[in-house]
């Protein structure tokens, strides 16, 4: 082979190597980014599970020690307020429905009433 042919082959090989290296570098950085994101996601899930496990372990230890669980007053108050609101809405709706029904019955009585006059 001549020196010009060899240098052209070397240049082509060098260009191919550069292209391959660049492609591998881009792929590796993308894969590392995806792996990092997935790692953060899994770490967050694991942290949540660890917190839940810690809370359950503390509750179990408290139960074994004979300590009573505290009353969740916030939930009790919230449930009471929601119950009162639902009861008020039901009472208002029922009152309106009964008034509407009474009006309809009154109209029906007026429409079907027979007027008797003495002759």
CA distances from residue 20 to 8, 14, 32 in whole angstroms, order as listed: 18, 10, 18
Of residues 93 and 36, more confidence is placed in: 93
Helices and strands (DSSP H and E) totals, the chain: 2, 0
Distances (CA, A) of 108 to 10, 43, 75, 105, 112: 105, 71, 49, 5, 6
- The structure tokens listed for 26 are 């881009």
pTM above 0.85, yes or no: no
pLDDT digits (tens, 9 = 90+) for 14-68: 888 888 888 777 777 777 777 777 777 777 777 778 888 888 888 888 888 888 8
Stronger pLDDT, 117 or 109, i.e. the higher one: 109
Q: What's the mean pLDDT in 82-91?
A: 97
What is the share, in percent, of the chain residues with pLDDT greater than 70?
94
- Average pLDDT across the chain, whole number: 84
């Amino acid at each position: 082979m001549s020196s010009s042919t060899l240098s052209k082959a070397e240049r082509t090989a060098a260009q191919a190597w550069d292209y391959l290296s660049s492609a591998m570098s881009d792929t590796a950085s993308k894969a590392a980014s995806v792996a990092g994101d997935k790692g953060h996601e899994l770490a967050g899930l694991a942290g949540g599970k660890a917190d839940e496990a810690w809370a359950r372990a503390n509750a179990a230890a408290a139960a074994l020690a004979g300590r009573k669980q505290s009353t969740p007053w916030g939930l009790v108050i919230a449930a009471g307020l929601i119950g009162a609101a639902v009861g008020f809405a039901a009472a208002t709706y029922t009152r309106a429905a009964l008034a509407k029904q009474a009006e309809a019955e009154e109209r029906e009585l007026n429409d079907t009433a027979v007027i008797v006059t003495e002759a």
